[in-house]
Amino acid sequence: MVALCTCSLSHPMLKVLLYFFSPPAHLFLTKSFPTSRKMASSFTRLISGRNTAVLLASLGAGTMATSFLLSENSSLAAEAKKKLYPPSSDFPDLRKHNNCMASALTPAIYAKLRDKLTPNNWTLDQCIQTGVDNPGHPFIKTVGCVAGDEESYEVFADLFDPVIKDRHNGYDPKTMKHPTDLDASKLTNGMFDENYVLSSRVRTGRSIRGLSLPPACSRAERREVERVVVTALAGLKGDLAGRYYSLGDMTEKEQQQLIDDHFLFDKPVSPLLTCAFMARDWPDARGIWHNNQKTFLIWVNEEDHTRVISMEKGGNMKRVFERFCTGLKQVEHLIQERGWEFMWNERLGYILTCPSNLGTGLRAGVHVRLPKLSKDPRFSKILDNLRLQKRGTGGVDTAATGDTFDISNNDRLGKSEVELVQLLVDGVNYLIECEKKLEKGQDIRVPAPIAQFRK
Amino acid sequence: LTKQKVKWFEEEYPDLSKHNNHMAKVLTKDIYAKLRDKQTPSGFTVDDVIQTGVDNPGHPFIMTVGCVAGDEESYEVFKDLLDPIISDRHGGYKATDKHKTDLNFENLKGGDDLDPNYVLSSRVRTGRSIKGFTLPPHNSRGERRAIERLSVEALTSLDGEFKGKYYPLKSMTDAEQEQLINDHFLFDKPVSPLLTCAGMARDWPDARGIWHNDNKTFLVWVNEEDHLRVISMQKGGNMREVFRRFCVGLQKIEEIFKKHNHGFMWNEHLGYILTCPSNLGTGLRGGVHVKLPKLSTHPKFDEILNRLRLQKRGTGGVDTASVGGVFDISNADRLGSSEVAQVQLVVDGVKLMVEMEKKLEKGEAIDSMIPAQK
């Protein structure tokens, strides 16, 4: 029944489970049986069920069968095609490109990985399509590749590891471990001077293990993500109790309210995302959930399975982070009750679509007024040394208006959530101190650069 | 498991409740369930076929097709979906119908005497797909480059009136680019979501380019919406000459491809196989830019066009409005009639309409000239 399964693991439970859940013979014997990436992932669940998928996944990503249910005809055609088109004939022209993928992808790596498939039949070409289609900006280095599933980071490690190193300050997934720490009680000095800090916010993403990521997911998988997440969120109580608004079904009134609250997200227009297949089937299974108090917000099936945002007006970052951690833990608990879990491993932390969001996936930031400091020529250097970045208050790609800036942490991977938020807190407090000093006509100091990784 | 399988198909079935395109009209849950298990030998699936139609719900007034082929076999493997769409789009064309191909320009009657005071320019275009390669929604960089190589070899071997030059998109000079824009030859990266959602802009501008003859009367686009788009054109009303050049050029190119065992995709049911089902058959749009300021405002103009099996567009091409009473008039049909027949309709129809225009100029009525349905 499962002769085609080339699973390398001989775990006894696996054999028993596969025996019980193998589909009837006629599904294997049809010549035109599909190998489409979406079929394989749905069949993973069909033959193994939700709980088994979690069990199998927990036995180690990458130990799943490398291909299910190949039809004779199409595998012959695929073999012939490989001979006719060696990897060198398909190697992309990256001479005008400036992104992490283009820096890392050599013909040798491409040749090694081109014909590999993840268990969901996702390929290297699909990972890099966005980077091939978007040569990049001379000043801003984009990542240029995405994962289609959890296993992408494993199967295509020869590409993703150097990309991760490039993007995350030399973090080496082969030798280093990423710390996860969502204990908000450890955060100190998390109350900002509200004469300067106008709002505080922490965001991250979470992926549901066993379901493909937005570039690769089928409609059924995307709807399953929505179902799993929305069911879990319905279990939140107290100050986290809230409501889900499906993008396709919301009323005009609801839409207007969400726009006014600055909660509504739109169909992606950036070619970085559309070329990565993330806008397919829009707006099917996309939506926004937020609590009644509008301080905890979750985007479903936008760039990641979920984007989780905690925010408030004012400078109480401590409370924002506490709600963030509590909310995340409660959601995790609620999905675990039904046999699901988040994608995570100790090499890469939380697994998200874009390699730039691995680790914590966390961006903690404030909108802060710094009229004097922002005009000081040392401003950029101070931010750099504090490992902070500035953006306009419209978010990434916007320019600052007036003297108010969005200041947030640069790093995502290699430091824990607590460490990164502490870094942001200490950094913003330092910036406010500088601003106050400049107000009094005193001089300021450029701080020493912060070490990048735990020694 | 059957219950699970049924439920799972339902989970994959797209939400087409707000859609208005041919695919959405035809794709029932039953058809989807039947086709979901299949793929072409190159791995194209029904989800790949319909993605563009799912992502682009369509326009209330204009009925788009909403699906594409990824390879020659798509039209066979997914016939349960594509046959009804083809029938809907091509005037009831049946799954058992045969399409006639006739590229013998000598079979065209007349066409060399359209009045140049009215007919400003004449043009015939079509597309060709090269056998043995998958189509633009699906092909790999290696395939696309092989198509370009073959095409350039074929085109640069032409001589006489067809002697010309190839300009690859990714390496043309600024001066060349400027010239191609001025000649209205240059094509750009597709921005229409109808095309981008079908995967046709991948790897742009790799292996895309433009070839044209020195006389600038014969032009070929490589790897845009189809493997090849072939265009013959010139100023004035000598459609006969335009069509002659079109047929001769196409046949010369086809011979060279055949020598390399890569002839054009064609079968006797669907004629020439192209990416979009709307271009099956001849893939031919033969047309003129013609001045019809009086006739175009006549209440029966649209009916006349209908009966003549012609369509109007603005002179900027599809989706544009006419300027100064000048219209782009071309054949409406692609499948079910031959190239000669379709160009004949254009030649005869335009000739008639110019006569009508002249009559209207003299203040005479045209009612007796209105033709029967062709």
Could you give the CA distance from residue B44 to residue A187 in angstroms, rounded to a whole number?
52
pLDDT at B322: 74
- Interface A-B, measured as beta-carbon pairs within 8 A, has a size of 93
Report how far Cα A41 is from the mean position of its chain's Cα atoms: 20
A44 pLDDT exceeds 80?
no
* Average pLDDT of the segment spanning B88-111: 96
Interface of B with A in 113-172 (CB under 8 A): 140-143, 145-146, 170
Nearest CA in chain A to B197: A280
Q: Which two tokens stand for residue B332?
A: 């409406």
Q: What are phi and psi of A38, to 5 degrees?
A: -75, -40
pLDDT at B119: 97
Could you give the CA distance from residue A56 to residue A61 in angstroms, rounded to a whole number?
8
Could you give the CA distance from residue B206 to residue A201 in angstroms, rounded to a whole number?
42
pLDDT at A19: 38
Nearest CA in chain B to A27: B37
pLDDT at A394: 65
Query: Please, which pLDDT band fits residue B251 given cuts at 50, 70 and 90?
Result: very high
Residue in the structure block whose two tokens are 């760039």: A303
pLDDT at A73: 53
A31 pLDDT exceeds 60?
no
Query: Please, which pLDDT band fits residue A79 given cuts at 50, 70 and 90?
Result: confident
Amino acid B245 reads R
* Average pLDDT of the segment spanning B255-272: 95
Query: Please, which pLDDT band fits residue B6 given cuts at 50, 70 and 90?
Result: low
Does residue B343 belong to the interface with chain A, where contact is any CB pair within 8 Å?
no
Please tell me what DSSP assigns to residue A4.
T
Out of A132, A219, A275, whose CB is closest to B12?
A: A219
Pick the residue of A75, A89, A126, A267 with the most B CBs within 10 A to test the interface with B by mutation. Answer: A89
pLDDT at A80: 82
**What ipTM does the predicted assembly reach?**
0.90
- Feature table: binding site of A: 199-203, 262, 307, 363-367, 391-396
* Average pLDDT of the segment spanning B109-138: 96
Report how far Cα A414 is from the mean position of its chain's Cα atoms: 15
B21 pLDDT exceeds 90?
yes
Could you give the CA distance from residue A75 to residue B127 in angstroms, rounded to a whole number?
31
Taking the CB of residue A11, how many other CB atoms lie within 10 A of it?
Answer: 14
CB contact under 8 A, B1 and A24: yes
* Average pLDDT of the segment spanning B355-372: 95
The pLDDT tens digits of the residues spanning B223-241 come to: 999 999 999 999 999 999 9
Mean predicted lDDT score pLDDT of chain B: 94
Least reliable range by pLDDT among A14-18, A129-133, A323-327, B116-120? A14-18
* Average pLDDT of the segment spanning B323-351: 95
Query: Please, which pLDDT band fits residue B77 given cuts at 50, 70 and 90?
Result: very high
The pLDDT tens digits of the residues spanning A369-402 come to: 999 999 999 999 999 999 999 988 765 656 666 7
Does residue B12 belong to the interface with chain A, where contact is any CB pair within 8 Å?
yes
B38 pLDDT exceeds 80?
yes
CB contact under 8 A, A24 and B197: no
State the fold for domain A87-168.
Answer: Transferase Creatine Kinase; Chain A, domain 1 (1.10.135)
pLDDT at B203: 98
* Average pLDDT of the segment spanning A17-38: 34
Using a CB-CB distance cutoff of 8 angstroms, which residues of chain A are in contact with residue B13? 219
Who has greater pLDDT, A77 or B251? B251
Nearest CA in chain A to B132: A81
A55 pLDDT exceeds 50?
no
pLDDT at B315: 78
Classify A359 as helix, strand or coil.
strand
pLDDT at A43: 37
- Feature table: binding site of A for ATP: 199-203, 262, 307, 363-367, 391-396
Out of A34, A81, A224, whose CB is closest to B39?
A: A34
Does residue A38 belong to the interface with chain B, where contact is any CB pair within 8 Å?
yes
A366 pLDDT exceeds 80?
yes
CB contact under 8 A, A280 and B51: yes
Does residue A183 belong to the interface with chain B, where contact is any CB pair within 8 Å?
no
Least reliable range by pLDDT among A25-34, A221-230, A341-350, B52-61? A25-34
A112 pLDDT exceeds 70?
yes
A64 pLDDT exceeds 50?
no
Taking the CB of residue A454, how many other CB atoms lie within 10 A of it?
Answer: 11
pLDDT at A140: 81
* Average pLDDT of the segment spanning A18-44: 35
| CA-angle at B338, arms to B336 and B342, nearest 5° | 95
Could you give the CA distance from residue A410 to residue A391 in angstroms, rounded to a whole number?
11
A168 pLDDT exceeds 80?
yes
- Binding residue per annotation — B184? yes
Does residue A81 belong to the interface with chain B, where contact is any CB pair within 8 Å?
yes
- Cβ–Cβ < 8 Å for A181, A419: yes
Least reliable range by pLDDT among A38-52, A344-358, A393-407, B8-22? A38-52
Please report, for chain A, the start and end positions of each structural domain, with discontinuous segments joined by +: 87-168, 184-440
* Average pLDDT of the segment spanning A179-199: 97
Who has greater pLDDT, A221 or A18? A221
Does residue B8 belong to the interface with chain A, where contact is any CB pair within 8 Å?
yes
pLDDT at B5: 55
Out of B1, B55, B203, whose CB is closest to A280?
A: B55
pLDDT at A54: 38
CB contact under 8 A, A36 and B43: yes
The structure's pTM equals 0.86
pLDDT at A9: 37
Query: Please, which pLDDT band fits residue B182 given cuts at 50, 70 and 90?
Result: confident
Residue in the structure block whose two tokens are 């349905």: B373
Strand partners, A310: A202, A296
The structural domains of chain B, ordered by start, are 8-90 (1.10.135.10), 105-362 (3.30.590.10)
Out of B13, B41, B55, whose CB is closest to A73?
A: B41
pLDDT at A33: 27
Q: Is the domain defined by A184-440 classed in CATH 3.30.70.330?
A: no
B188 pLDDT exceeds 90?
no
Could you give the CA distance from residue A209 to residue A322 in angstroms, rounded to a whole number?
25
Please tell me what DSSP assigns to residue A448.
P
> Percentages helix, strand, coil for chain B, rounded to the nearest 5?
40, 15, 45
CB contact under 8 A, A85 and B142: yes
- Give per-residue burial for B237-274: e unless 16+ CB within 10 Å, then b: bbbbbbbbbbbbbbebbbebbeeeebebbbeebbbbbb
Does residue A268 belong to the interface with chain B, where contact is any CB pair within 8 Å?
no
pLDDT at B336: 96
Nearest CA in chain A to B9: A220
Out of B39, B47, B206, whose CB is closest to A32?
A: B39
Residue in the structure block whose two tokens are 């030059």: B165
Could you give the CA distance from residue B372 to residue A46 in angstroms, rounded to a whole number?
60
Nearest CA in chain B to A282: B55
